[in-house]
Amino acid sequence: MHTADLKYMKRALTLARKGIGRTSPNPAVGCVIVKDGQIIGEGWHKKAGTPHAEIHALNMAGEAAQGADVYVTLEPCCHSGKTPPCSDALIRAKVKRVVAGMPDPNPMVNGKGLKELELAGIETACGLLEDACRSINRPFIKHVVSGLPYVIFKSAMTLDGNIATVTGDSRWISCEESRRYVHQMRNQCDAVLVGVDTVIIDNPQLTVRHVRGRNPLRVIVDTRLRTPESVKILESPLAKKTVIATTETNPRVHLRYLQQGAQILVCEAEDGRVSMYDLLTKLGKMGVQSILLEGGNRVAGNMLQNGLIDEFVFFYAPKIIGNSGFAPFTLQGITSMNDAIRLVITNIRRSGDDIVVHAWPEKTCSPV
C-alpha cells in the first residue's frame, strides 16, 4: 500500500465515526472515492435503512467514479436488505479498485462482496488499517458473530475504589467533564442497563442530557419486580423505551408496568435471579448491539464472573470514602490474588479532575 492509500483510508475512518451509535443494527462505515489524486466523492452510513456509505460517495462522484479508486472501511455488502447491494453499485459505476479496511464478518458477506468485485474485473485489497476499522465496529462484530450485545461497563469511583457511601449516596463522585463523557457513551450505545437497587436508590432517568444525542433503550434487571411505579424511568414518555427484565411470569403483576408503557421481558432464572446470559440473548434478538452497564454491583459482579463484559471504563475521582463504602462488583469465591479477574489496561487519561482508565478482559486482550 502507498502513503496515499493510508491517507484516504484515514479519511474514510473519520467519516465512519460520524455514524457511531446511529447505524445499529448495521455497522458504521465510511467511504472515499479518489481519482487522479483528488477526492471526488465521500460519504458515511447515517442510519439503518438509509443508503450505505458507498452509495453516498458514488452519488457525489457521479460519472467521474469510472476508473476511480474506492476506499471503504468495511467490505462492500453483496446482499439485499433494506437497501440494494453496494457491490452491484460499484460494478455499475465501473470503478477501478476497491480497498476495504476489513472483511465483513456477516456470514451473508464475509468475502463474497470482494469476490463479486474481482469477478467483475475490479482490483481489490483488504486489511488496510484493519485494527482501526474493527475498533469502531466492536458492537456490530460481536453481535453479528455471536448474537450477543457488546457490553461496556462504566463506573465512577473514589480513589479507594468506592462507588457510593454507606448510605448509598453517589452524587456526584465524578466531575462534570466525566459526566458529559458518560452521556456521550449513552448516546453511542443502543441500551443502558442497571439493577433494580440502582433505580430504587438513585431514581435515575438514564437519558442523554449533557450532550446532544438520542436516548438509549433503558433496561432494568428486576428479578422480583420491585421497581416502584413512581420512579422517573417509568414516567411518560420515558416508560415507552424502558424494558424491565424479570423472572416473574404472572401477567397480573406485569400489568402495572405495562399500563405505564414499559415492556416486560421474562427471562430464565439462574441461582434465583435473572440469567444475564439469557437477558443478553433476548436483547440481542431485539437488535440491541451495544449496552452500557452503569449500575448495580450485584448485576455487574454476575456479568463479570460470567465473562459477559467486553470493555471497562473506570472514572477515578480524587476523593476517599473509606471502608464503609460500596465496591463496583459483588464477586463470589475470590479468596486469593491468584483468583483475581485480570484486566489489560489499554488507556489512561485525564478527564477534568478525574482519571479515566480503559481496560479489556485479559482473556481476550482485545474485544475484537
Residues annotated as catalytic (active site), given as ranges: 54
Residue 108, helix vs strand vs coil = coil
- Gap between the Cα atoms of 290 and 56, Å rounded: 26
The three cell numbers locating residue 162? 468506592
| 281, 181 Cβ separation under 8 angstroms | no
Residue recorded with cell 462482496: 113
Query: Going by DSSP bridges, is the β-strand pair 354-361/343-351 parallel, antiparallel, or unpaired?
Result: antiparallel
Output the nine-digit C-alpha cell for 145: 458473530
Instruction: Name the residue among 206, 159, 202, 114 with its Cα closest to residue 318.
Output: 159
Q: What is the separation, in whole angstroms, between the first and last Cα of the chain?
A: 24
Q: In sequence order, what are the residues at sequence separation of 6 or more whose Cβ sits closer than 8 angstroms to the Cβ of residue 66?
A: 93, 94, 95
Residues 21 and 18: their CA atoms lie apart, in Å, by 9
